[in-house]
Structure 1
Amino acid sequence: MKIISLKITTILSLLFIILCKAQTLPLNTALYNIPQNAYLKETNNELIPYIGTYKATFQGNEIILYITKEENKLMDYGDQKFYSDVLIIKYIVRNSNGVILQDTKNSNIAKIELYSNHIYPNKNIIAFYYSGTNCGVGWGDIYLKKINSTQISWQYRPDDIILDDSKCPPGTDINIYLPETKDLIFTKQ
């Protein structure tokens, strides 16, 4: 009797482990089709071509993008949580005199996020969520389109509002330094 009970317990435990294991899905899975705690995994090297350092000049400012890949990033949308392979962008913006206007690569500014949240594989486009910087200024969407092995096209659509002005002290820099434009070409370095 103990052997049968042990076998049943073992089988039920294995079944529980299998059923509770997170489901792995492709990166371009629609948000409404993602179950809780699923993992959106890069399976076809969709992100790899974007990784690297890219430069562009816009209105006299030099913008350098540092694009890296992060695996298993928690995506928390309140009632929906899952994990995903994403691209992370850190950047430096310098004016024509070489003065750094904004630097997310070397600074430890908390809560500035710029990560991929959707991929359009048939269009070679990756969409990014940008949290904005000081007080949430500039939050919005950025789209990168792969043109060739050394160039990407940039489109940035900011929502020019302060998310919470009660947390924004007087004198805080609320300028948007990223290029607010479409079709800006960045070249891989």
Structure 2
Amino acid sequence: MKTLILKILIIITFIMINSCKSQEYPLNSDITQYPANSYFKDIDNKYDAFIGNWKAVYDNKTITLKISKVIKKSLMFGSKSFFQDVLIVQHLIKDNAGNIIENKIVNDLNIYDIISINYNYTANIVYLNYSGVNCRVGSGMLFFKLVSSNSFITISQ
């Protein structure tokens, strides 16, 4: 009798553990169409090509982007909680004399102004949200398209 009860408890525990796991969906899924606590995963590791430090010169300024991947970041959309693999983009801007104009590179990946929100598999474009500066001035969308293993471009749509 004890063996039967133990087997039943093990089966119930196994069922409960598996039913509590979040379902996994591709990054390009519409989060509004899935239940709360779903996990939107970088299934094909598309984000990995963007990870690293990137430099560019624009308008006599050197811009350094530090792009990091965070696995299964807890996020909210309205009142719905979900998990998603994301890219966190932090930046450093220097003038042509090397003086720091703005430094948003920190060790804490919970501090960011730019975060990925989706991936377009057809066009190979990462969609990112920029929260802007003081009072959200300049907030909007950014789009990164990988053009080779060592370069990407920003595009407007």
User: TM-score interval w.r.t. the shorter chain?
Assistant: 0.7 to 0.9
Q: Provide the rounded CA distance (Å) in 2 between the counterparts of 1:21 and 1:112.
A: 28
Question: Deviation digits for residues 42-91 of structure 1, max 9, x if unmatched?
Answer: 22121111112212222222111111111111121132111111111111
**Number of aligned residue pairs:** 156
**Larger RCO (CA under 8 A, 6+ residues apart):** 1
Give the match's secondary structure for 1:122: coil
Gaps of 5+ in 1: 156-181, 184-189
Task: State TM-score, norm by structure 1.
Answer: 0.72
Q: Is the 8 A contact 2:88 2:112 kept in 1?
A: no
Q: Which residue of 2 aligns with 1:88?
A: 88
Q: Report how far residue 106 of structure 1 moved.
A: 4.0
Q: Which residue of 2 aligns with 1:140?
A: 140
Q: Would you say 1:79 and 2:50 are equivalent positions? A: no
Q: Provide the rounded CA distance (Å) in 2 between the counterparts of 1:95 and 1:104.
A: 15
Task: State TM-score, norm by structure 2.
Answer: 0.85
Code of the aligned partner of 2:33 = N
Code of the aligned partner of 2:101 = L
Gaps of 5+ in 2: none
Q: Which residue of 2 aligns with 1:117?
A: 117
Q: What are the equivalent positions in structure 2 for 1:5-154 lying under 5 Å apart?
A: 7-106=7-106, 112-154=112-154
Q: Is the 8 A contact 1:117 1:128 kept in 2?
A: yes
Give the match's secondary structure for 1:73: strand
Q: Report how far residue 115 of structure 1 moved.
A: 1.1
Q: Report how far residue 147 of structure 1 moved.
A: 1.1
Q: Provide the rounded CA distance (Å) in 2 between the counterparts of 1:39 and 1:31.
A: 9
Q: Is the 8 A contact 1:111 1:131 kept in 2?
A: no
Code of the aligned partner of 2:139 = W
Code of the aligned partner of 2:82 = F
Q: Report how far residue 107 of structure 1 moved.
A: 8.3
Q: 1:101 to 1:107 in 2, by over 3 A?
A: farther
